Copies of this chain bind each other. A is one copy, B any other.
Amino acid sequence: MNSRIRLDYNNLMTDRLGAYGISQAGLEAAGKAAVQASQWFHARRAAGKMDFFDLPDTPEHLNSCLKLAAKYKGKFDDLVVLGIGGSALGTTAIHSALNPSTYNLQDKKARRGRPRLWVLDNVDPEKLKAVLALLKAKRTLVNLISKSGATAETSAQFLWIRQWLMKDAGKNWSKNMVVTTDPAGGILRQIVDREKLSSLDVPSGVGGRFSVLTPVGLFPLAMAGVDIKSLLEGANQMRKMTLNENPWKNPARLYALTQFLLYQKGCRINVMMSYSDSLYPMTDWFRQLWAESLGKRVNNQNQTVETGPTPVKALGATDQHSQLQLYIEGPRDKAITFLMVEKFRSDITIPRAYPKIADISYLGGKSFGQLLNSEARATALALSKNGRPNCSFLIPEISPRTVGQLVFLLETATAYAGGLFGINPMDQPGVEEGKRYTYGLMGRAGFENRKAEAEKFEAGNSSRYVV
């Protein structure tokens, strides 16, 4: 069996979709744009603005994480990750892909002595309280993750969990915390120094949503027993492929290019539909990568473009009974990417029974894996026949290596797509304004005028428009 993932984009092409598809000529004609995007990418890389790209080839983070995870091995029953966005989504995605969905419900033996893993990426008090009620402070390691160190949600979580640890451990609370943050700047680094906390580095040149292969993801994943060495090897294998300047051999480039061409044709919604429960959270991680990187008001010439595809997550076969009706018959504004697993790590044979009931007896002797893959094939065919563009990432089997490939492919494709869209895929200027209003409403000094503005805005609400 092929040990690497492949992209099958037959069902994006005119051969399959007629006028709704991309023609071979169109793909070749876009070659120039693709070459420019590639040159732009490598120029940015040379300028130190694409540091994520060299992470798989950097042993430093692997070593620091393995070392720290070895130090803590067997010492904790629970690991709580406090972080949001890029500090949480990648860890959840890879943990879900490589550990059983029941991981936190298993007994310690089944978990091979690893701690349960709780990624708390929101500030809903009901949820936070419910989780903490299950944990014992002395047996809990907290991994606080924030690149800037100033994320309001993570700061609030820090104050809360620090008090909780203190109640149990007094001054020794700091032994139960590892902070992952910028190596030099930010208030979290100040706090690390002051409280003498263990810490790990997020490299300065790697943005949050591209940071899963830094200690942001590597440390908690190592603690949860994920083979992070193989994960990085898989990523490095894909890295070599994505350096291939022959565009027909470079899956990251082809994925970015085809999605870009479809966007020009009106497919502004990119559905990623996983035919695997364990890869479903990967679509959530990708959603941040794609939306935050490509959703931009201005292009690199500072012209207003208001561009960017909207990523949507979906799960097969489940969403065949929820979203497929819309995908097949609704507006032609979608391109669908399947995540298809060729061989499941374990399968179940469907027992034979009720030989005289035709509606059910045909299933006996087949397997669940076969059923799930038949559904995926049938969905791809039905979409194609209806002129709906779809492509597939074919994953031989879910493993640290193939997951590393997939993660790196999608990161690189996102960066390339930034070049094609002509925008900066590494910033997120649009979210700053909302943060300032939050500071204002939370009474932070220096943001009083924001508070006043927000209150004035809300006071202007008309009761006429409330029902």
Contacts and interface: CB of A to CB of B under 8 A. Distances in A.
A66 interface: no
Interface in A290-327: 291-292, 294-297, 306-308, 310, 312-313, 315, 317-318, 320-327
A114 interface: no
A441 B150 CA distance: 54
Contact of A159 (B327, B363, B372): B363
Contacts of A442: 362-363, 366, 370-371, 374
A129 B106 CA distance: 13
A360 B159 contact: yes
Contacts of A6: 466-467
A344 B317 CA distance: 35
Interface residues of A, number: 155
Contacts of A104: 105
A348 B457 contact: no
Contact of A441 (B13, B251, B353, B377): B377
Contacts of A158: 360
A170 interface: no
Contacts of A250: 467
Q: How many copies does the complex hold?
A: 2
Given A84-B317, A368-B125, A291 B325 contact: yes
A374 to B, nearest CB: 4
Interface string A416-455: 0000000000001111011111111111111000000110
A139 to B, nearest CB: 15
A288 B331 contact: no
Given A362-B442, A465-B9, A306 B325 contact: no
A7 B466 contact: yes
A350 B159 contact: yes
Nearest to A250: B467
Given A89-B322, A310-B330, 6 more contacts: A122-B372, A125-B367, A151-B321, A163-B351, A249-B467, A297-B330
